[in-house]
Amino acid sequence: MVRKVKKKRSGIRIFVALLLMVGIAAFVYKAIDPAVSIPPDKLNSPNAILIRLKDHTILMKKNSEEKIYPASLTKMMTAIVAIENLPNLKGEIKLTHSTFQGLYKADASMAGFQPGEQVRAIDLLYGVMLPSGSECCIGLADQIAGSEQNFVKLMNQKATDLGMHNTHFENSTGLHNENHYTTVKDLAILLSYALQNDTFREIFTSPRHATGPTNRHPRGITFHSTLFEDLNNQTMIGGEILGGKTGYTNEAGLCLASLAKVGKQEYILISAGAKGDHHSEQYNITDALAVYNSIRK
């Protein structure tokens, strides 16, 4: 009789222990349950980082501290430094012939302004970010710092101030230079900061912008965001991409910095190094849609 009671108690203990093990396993699984369901190795981009903007929590990363060439993602720094150093966004800036020197030869992306054109600073900022206009970068740099070289010093100082420890800029446009580099983690720090500025956020999230009339374009110019053009009506499930900046050089590959809203939260994704070019499938866009669609609501 005693043996049977002992056996029953032993069985109860084993059952309780099993329940505890299952409970602990469930808790641990929940604790490590990933915020996104897509594995990083499934991305086309060799470098990527996803951050929840509200609390800057890193939800996914892939070689996020590896050195990359940022291409035109550089222009995010150009824009925020310009915004913070311009006394009047409605003031006019004259683009001189020297503004364009070397840009055509380097096959730099342009917004469409001309030498001798007098353009409002705010329109140059939209020209920097939407069509990725290199002449806009040089025009702003010359106006603010007297030369692009001096303006780049402001960019590097800002990078230091923000804690972008693995970043160095050589120009304001993102044209390739061996000593012009960053990481997707550093770019996430930059974008998180820049989006706190209302002017930057407004530009970053605009699909298009019509400039005011100028002495060379009396009807103005209408810019279209390269991001929204590359999206080509592709949409997210349960959310939307709010804005972004594309980038590409042969050395940098296809790059993208984007802001999206999924549910009630905002997220930023920086990706770089995807294979392809302007004529191939836009794998930077493909990756962004895949990542944002995989976020657990």
Query: What residues are paired with 254 via a beta bridge?
Result: 248, 274
CA dist., res. 100 & res. 173, Å (int)? 12
Per-residue tokens: 20: 């505890």
Alpha helices for 33-133 (secondary structure H): 74-85, 121-129
The sign of the CA dihedral 127, 132, 133, 139 is positive
Q: Which of 109, 132, 225, 258 is catalytic?
A: 132
Q: Which of 45, 64, 72, 225 is catalytic?
A: 72
Residue 89 backbone class (left: φ over 0; alpha: ψ -120 to 50; beta: rest):
alpha
- Is position 72 annotated as part of the catalytic site? yes
Query: What residues are paired with 84 via a beta bridge?
Result: none
Q: Are 247 and 73 in contact (CB under 8 A)?
A: yes
User: Tokens 């049977």 identify what position?
Assistant: 4
Q: Quick one: which of 141, 266, 128 has its CA closest to 204?
A: 128
Q: Which of 45, 62, 64, 75 is catalytic?
A: 75
CA dist., res. 28 & res. 33, Å (int)? 8
Total residue count of the chain as it appears in this document: 297
Alpha helices for the chain (secondary structure H): 2-32, 74-85, 121-129, 134-145, 148-162, 184-194, 198-204, 226-231, 283-293
- Is position 64 annotated as part of the catalytic site? no
- Is position 132 annotated as part of the catalytic site? yes
Catalytic residue annotation = 72, 75, 132
